[in-house]
A = this chain, B = another copy of it.
């Protein structure tokens, strides 16, 4: 799916709106790095290179460390409760609904960021999480089970015990694991880039 053309008319017809609307949302998605755009040539679903993917994960780690550092100082009992509830949702979904599980895994990080109370941080985390999802869709093999729920649990456990450093370490460990699953599953992106070129001449 990444690399696919996003023709304004087609999308507009699909949703029953005019190109005006489609255009603004495409521009927003471009700003968020989810679609690529070239002048006079329109939009395509973004196809981040390996190095872009590394940039995203590095930035994400930097941002989420800050989220945890802030939370370690100010989490309330209510916050912990909603985090715990979320992880339980994840465990349930992980059994019978794979696509919901993937969504919830991302939303855990967004929830953390919003609980931090820093809107700017939260917006950036939201962006890098979305981009991470795209990267996973691109590079990680289909059935690499995202069994990261334990890691989520470890993070909130450390937070509950008020151990900021342990929480940061847990988050670091978790994000490194996610990045590894995505980026190390393909040694080099040449192979993937070539595939894309081949695909274009295949039909």
Contacts and interface: CB of A to CB of B under 8 A. Distances in A.
Interface of A: 23-24, 27-28, 31, 33, 52, 55-56, 58-59, 62-63, 65-66, 70, 118-121, 124, 128, 131
A30 to B, nearest CB: 10
Contact of A27 (B27, B59, B118): B27
Interface of A is mostly: helix
**Highest count of chain B CB atoms <10 Å: which of A24, A63, A128:** A63
A120 to B, nearest CB: 4
A56 B120 contact: yes
Given A24-B27, A55-B120, 15 more contacts: A27-B27, A27-B28, A28-B31, A31-B31, A33-B120, A55-B118, A58-B70, A58-B118, A58-B121, A59-B63, A59-B66, A59-B121, A62-B63, A63-B63, A120-B128
Contact of A59 (B56, B124, B128, B131): B124
Contacts of A118: 55, 58-59
14 contacts: A27-B27, A28-B31, A31-B31, A52-B119, A52-B120, A55-B118, A58-B118, A58-B120, A59-B63, A59-B118, A59-B120, A59-B124, A62-B63, A120-B128
B66 A62 contact: yes
Nearest to A131: B120
Nearest to A122: B55
